[in-house]
Amino acid sequence: MRNEYAADLGLSEADLAADWHAQFARWFADAVASGLPEPNAMVLGTADAAGRPSGRTVLLKGYDPQGFVLFTNHGSRKGTEALANPYASLVFPWFPSQRQVVVAGRIEPVDRAETEAYFASRPRGSQLGAWASEQSRVIGDRAALDAGYRAVAERFADVDPVPAPPHWGGLRVRPETVEFWQGRASRLHDRLRFRRTAPDPGPADDGRWVVERLAP
């Protein structure tokens, strides 16, 4: 199975925005406008303390110059790995646009106020699900999960809004590299990478960056 990429598409250094955040915003808007299903879906790669990797598809819930934010049960596989080995990769596979964005950086928890604000925006069913599911744990069968959900629904029947569970919260990937990949003919793809050249100075994320072209 082979798909030949379009010869007339490309990504040059002159095409890039001034920084990775503005370039991501541009491509993300293109992905949304194209009608791509779940354009905020991304593959999150983490590793445990021994370096054994794992990956899964999650949803991006926010981004700004500080990084990319997702939310999860901190007791899940990705949550425990993020705490044990706080580095991650992200891949946005926008194949219909013949584009990918690849991110690598450090993981940090978001502050509690940000977690609670996002949790309050979720549908009530999703809020209850966050309480009912011990994410990544082995369970006996589907009936056990459904029973747990019913118990949580009864527990919070008269509670509105449902509070965020203490074990649930946000993770931010603060990028050290952000690569923009554009498919080209003959597998000679364009790969332009923003790479941080100085330590992250803080919330403004105004560290020095360089742009590098990578061989496909």
| Binding-site positions | 56-61, 71-72, 77-78, 100, 118, 122, 126, 135-136, 181, 187-189, 191
How many residues make up the chain in this entry?
216
User: What span, in angstroms and rounded, lies between the C-alpha atoms of 39 and 31?
Assistant: 6
Active site residue 187: yes
**Nearest-CA neighbor of 10 among 192, 200, 133, 174?**
192
Backbone dihedral region for residue 85 (phi beyond 0: left; psi -120 to 50: alpha; all else: beta): beta
What Cα–Cα distance (Å) separates residue 48 from each residue in 67, 82, 83, 136?
A: 22, 8, 9, 14
- The two three-digit tokens of residue 195, written as one number: 């790479």
Give counts: helices (H), strands (E), the chain. 5, 9
Active-site option among 26, 124, 187, 208? 187
Residue with tokens 């925005």: 17
**Nearest-CA neighbor of 61 among 145, 126, 133?**
126
CB-count burial class (<10 Å; 0-12, 13-18, 19+) for 40 = middle
Measured at the alpha carbon of residue 54, what is the angle toward residues 34 and 120, in degrees to the nearest 5? 60
Could you tell me which residues are annotated as the binding site for substrate? 61, 118, 122, 126, 187-189
Could you tell me which residues are annotated as the binding site for FMN? 56-61, 71-72, 77-78, 100, 135-136, 181, 191
Catalytic residue ranges:
187
